Amino acid sequence: MKLDVRTIMFVIIIGGLLMSAGLFSVSRGYLGQVRGVFRWAVATLIQVLGWIIVGVLRGVLPDVVSIVLGNGLIQLSFAMYFLILADFNHRSVRAEFVYAGVAVVCALLFYFSAINPDLTTRNIIISISVAALTLASAYILLLKRATRLASHTFMLSLFALSGSFMLFRAVYYFVVDQSTGEYAFASSTINNVSYLVFYIFSSMFTFGFILMCNEYIIFQQKKTQEELKSGHQLLTKLLAQVPGAIYQYQLFPDGRMAFPFASQGIQNIYEVTPEQVRDNAQLVFAHLHPDDTEAVLESIQVSARTMQPWHLEYRVVLPKQGLRWRLGQAQPEKLADGSILWHGFISDITERALAEAKHKLLEDELRVSYTSLTFNENRLRRLMNSSLIGIVQGDTSGRLKEANDVLLHMIGEQRQTLIDGTLNWFNLTPASATTQHLQTVRDVVRNEVIAPFECEIQNKNGSLIPIMLGLSKLEGSKDEWVGFVLDLREQKRIDKLKSEFISVVSHELRTPLTSIKGSLGLLEGGVVGELPPTALKLIKIAHKNSLRLVNLVNDILDMEKLASGKMNMNLQSVDLVHLARQAIEASAGYAISFNVRYQLGLHPEHAVVTADADRLMQVFANLLSNAAKFSPLGDIVEVRIISQADQFLLEIEDHGSGIPLEFRERIFGKFAQADGTTTRQLEGAGLGLNITKALIENMHGEIGFRSEENIATVFWFALPVSQEHT
């Protein structure tokens, strides 16, 4: 086969130069970010120079120079390919050893060209050295298994095939045909094919490397995109934990305003979502406090003109949170379209602003009061000592550190005893109440304040003193408290006199009232003969009022017994269903007078509870009469009995005007009546519900109500299930 060697060499050289020039060019562009592109271009150029020397200039230059220098440059280019691939795949290779190997090959070529010319040996050396470098390159690519790309596989195949073929060529020359020629395409077929394959593979290496670079960039871009996506997700999660809003605010040349970016924190800062303000910021400015809107807009304009950082404290009025303080700070940036973009952060400083305002107020107060501190301190001590209430200060151990004269006089101690530190609050309490007071002091220190309560202390002589005690944690202290002690001895004495007076008056009134009621009843019944209509009308009014007075006296006596604990309760098992039927039957006549009737609704077959049957009938009478009085004409008052876990619940529902909101808190009080004209015109002293509540509670039950004005009112009580029933 005869081919024009110079034409083939010219094509190879031109192709190599073009690829080398192309690589030099792209190494300055986006491919330049891949390591080794520029060096591969240099290696390709070196290989082209080798082809020029070994091929084009063969016969022009001395043979030794052409053979050694040309093949040496080609060997050097393959060595550089190997080192570039090792670096590309992050493999550590000692470059000096590789270059030393190239130098050894050049020395052998010089020996077998100039000193001991041997064409076959020289070709075998060239083939083996090229095979070694290409197979080594293939091995480097083979090691990259985890992230091997398609282009890696292509290059691996090229280097493996090239190395294998050159190794086959060396073996062929050594074993089969040692009469190889000096020139390509000038002798045997094997020689021609080997040169052709070698030329083709040499040109394909650069093409494959370009493919590797492109695929590597694509791979890195995908990896970067995934990292960016992952980073964005992480950033979103982190921003959600930031106590405020990170944002970008853009002011356009035409005056439009927007938040191109805002973290989810803007929902707490302005109560808007990032999507709502992405293209229009008007929703945010609508929430600005009217007194601060102008200041906010002016500060933004100043920052836009001067390109100085924006920093401002301002107020917003939000639909859910109300008035809040905000701190905004941002750095402006001028964009190419003439708009200004601020990158910033907005935080909630409401607590700080309130604290600063309070602090300033305290400073002003301290400044004003400082000049009169001594005077006020003395005045306060005089006020403490002249107070009618005992004031005491102590710690959790019970040791008293301060007390006014009222308290010291109450317990019969001298101030020196207090100064000596021997007074202890727990020594002032009865032995049976010491544990309660100890727990109360601990609760005060933990909860800072508790509701006042009645208790007893003992004075120096051991006498018990009833008191009302209020405790509060001493501000600024960890274990100290202050107490306010009100002496109840006089109040208890007055209450006793009042109870005795009510008892005496009630008992003294009951006998004559009974007589008057009976006499009026006889007169109304016509025992003394028929009375004139006018007189009979007056007798009926008097009889009715006498009944009311008798009921009032009975209520007062019941109230006094309940208050003094003298009312005996005969608690036994009673059937609530049976009592309800009896009560409805007994009160039916009263309901008819109001054109109302009672109805027993939902109920179990039996509802056995522990109660006093007589007192429970009194409860029924009070609740049923109230329901009838306040029901509209023709209404049905429904009585329901509901079984619950360990109790039975009885409900009485009417459909009257309901209980006014302002009266509900005191409905169970003594002499409690609503102020409305509709309720005041109905008879009653306002003691029924108070007595009813006391009776239910004395039977270990509960009572309450629920009411919707002009719809319905339900009074209910619950009593424990009898043990016999369970």
Six-digit token string for 524: 């109304």
- Other beta carbons within 10 angstroms of residue 481's beta carbon come to 23
CA pair distance 82, 145, nearest whole angstrom: 18
Sheet holding 647-654, edge to edge: 597-600, 636-643, 647-654, 712-720, 702-708
- Residue type at 646 in one-letter notation: D
Q: What is the pLDDT of residues 282-329, one digit of tens each?
A: 999 999 999 999 999 999 999 999 999 999 999 999 999 999 999 999
Q: Are residue 277 and residue 158 in the same domain, yes or no?
A: no
Q: From residue 522, how far is each of 532, 536, 543, 593 by CA, in Å? A: 15, 11, 10, 22
pLDDT of residue 419: 85
Q: What distance in Å separates the CA atoms of residue 613 and residue 240, rounded to the nearest whole number?
A: 65
Residue of 269, 457, 434 whose CA lies nearest to 350: 269
Q: How far apart are CA 287 and CA 665, in angstroms?
A: 39
Query: What pLDDT was estimated at residue 681?
Result: 43
Residue 314 lies in a domain: yes
Q: Cβ contacts of residue 433 below 8 Å, gap of 6+?
A: 455, 456
Roughly what angle, to the nearest 10 degrees, separates helices 613-629 and 576-593?
40
- Bridge partners of 531, per DSSP, are none
Tokens of 83: 């080192």
Q: Return d(Cα 339, Cα 252) in angstroms, integer.
A: 4
Does a structural domain hold residue 368? no
At 90, phi and psi to the nearest 5? 60, 45
Which domain covers residue 608, as residue numbers? Answer: 572-720
Q: Are 189 and 5 in contact (CB under 8 A)?
A: no
Parallel, antiparallel or unpaired: strands 480-487 and 390-395: antiparallel
Strand residues in 555-711 grouped as ranges (E): 572-575, 597-600, 608-611, 636-643, 647-654, 702-708
Residues 21 and 113 in one domain: yes
Angle at 462 between CA 460 and CA 465, to 5 degrees: 90
Q: How many Cβ atoms from other residues are within 10 Å of residue 40's Cβ?
A: 28
The CB density around residue 595, as the number of other CB atoms within 10 Å, is 12
Residues 524 and 500 in one domain: yes
530 and 605 housed in the same domain: no
Q: Where does a domain end: 429, 452, 482?
A: 482
392 and 474 fall within a common domain:
yes
Residue 633: CB atoms within 10 A of its CB come to 7
48 burial (CB, 10 Å; 0-12 / 13-18 / 19+) is buried
What is the residue-wise DSSP string for 201-249?
HHHHHHHHHHHHHHHHHHHHHHHHHHHHHHHHHHHHHHHHHSSEEEEEE
| 259 sits in which H/E element | strand 257-262
CATH number at residue 555: 1.10.287.130
- Same-domain pairing of 288 and 428: no
- With both helix axes pointing from N to C terminus, report the angle between 37-51 and 189-241 in degrees, rounded to the nearest 10: 170
Q: Helix, strand, or coil here: 269?
A: helix
**429, 453, 482 — which closes off a domain?**
482
**pTM exceeds 0.85 for this model:** no
> So what's the pLDDT on residue 374?
64
What are the tokens at 654?
A: 């009417």
Quick check: is 649 in a domain? yes
Using alpha carbons, select from 626, 628, 713 the residue that is nearest to residue 664. 713
Which one-letter DSSP state was computed for residue 560? Answer: H
464-473 sheet: strands from edge to edge: 400-403, 390-395, 480-487, 464-473, 453-458
Residue 695 near residue 618, CB atoms below 8 Å = yes
Same domain for 648 and 689, yes or no, is yes
Give the integer Cα–Cα distance in Å for 391 and 455. 16
- Which regions of 590-711 does DSSP assign to beta strands (E)? 597-600, 608-611, 636-643, 647-654, 702-708
Is residue 86 domain-shared with residue 188, that is, in the same domain?
Answer: yes
DSSP 538-558: HHHHHHHHHHHHHHHHHHHHH
* Residue 361, domain member (yes or no): no
Domain end among 510, 534, 564: 564
DSSP for 473-510 reads EPTT-SSEEEEEEEE-HHHHHHHHHHHHHHHHHHHHHH
- The token duo for 548 is 């009311």
Q: How many CA atoms lie within 13 A of 431 on its CB side?
A: 1
Residue 123 resides in a domain? yes
Judged by phi (left if over 0) then psi (alpha if -120 to 50, else beta), residue 36 lies in left
Among 29, 73, 28, 66, CA closest to 49: 73
Report the C-alpha gap between 122 and 129 in whole angstroms.
Answer: 11
In angstroms, the CA 326 to CA 344 distance is: 13
pLDDT of residue 181: 47
Residue 638 domain flag = yes
Same domain, 478 and 499: no
Q: Are residues 549 and 582 in the same domain?
A: no
What does the pLDDT look like over 569-586, one tens digit per residue?
A: 788 999 999 999 998 998
Q: What is residue 661's DSSP assignment? A: G
CA 326 to chain centre: 20
What is the rounded CA–CA span in Å between residue 468 and residue 603? Answer: 45
| 362 within a domain of the structure (yes/no) | no
For residue 617, the number of C-alpha atoms closer than 13 Å in the C-beta half-sphere is: 12
3-state secondary structure of 647: strand
Q: What is the pLDDT of residue 506?
A: 63
Q: What is the CATH number of the domain that holds 463?
A: 3.30.450.20
Sign of the alpha-carbon dihedral angle for 463, 466, 468, 471? positive
Q: Provide the token pair at 470.
A: 């209020």
- Residue 369 resides in a domain: no
Name the domain count of the chain.
5
Write out residues in the chain with pLDDT < 50, as ranges.
1-2, 181-187, 676-682
Question: What does the pLDDT read at residue 169?
Answer: 77
- CATH label of the domain that carries residue 625: 3.30.565.10
Q: Is the domain of 329 the same as that of 389?
A: no
Q: Do residues 502 and 598 both lie within one domain?
A: no
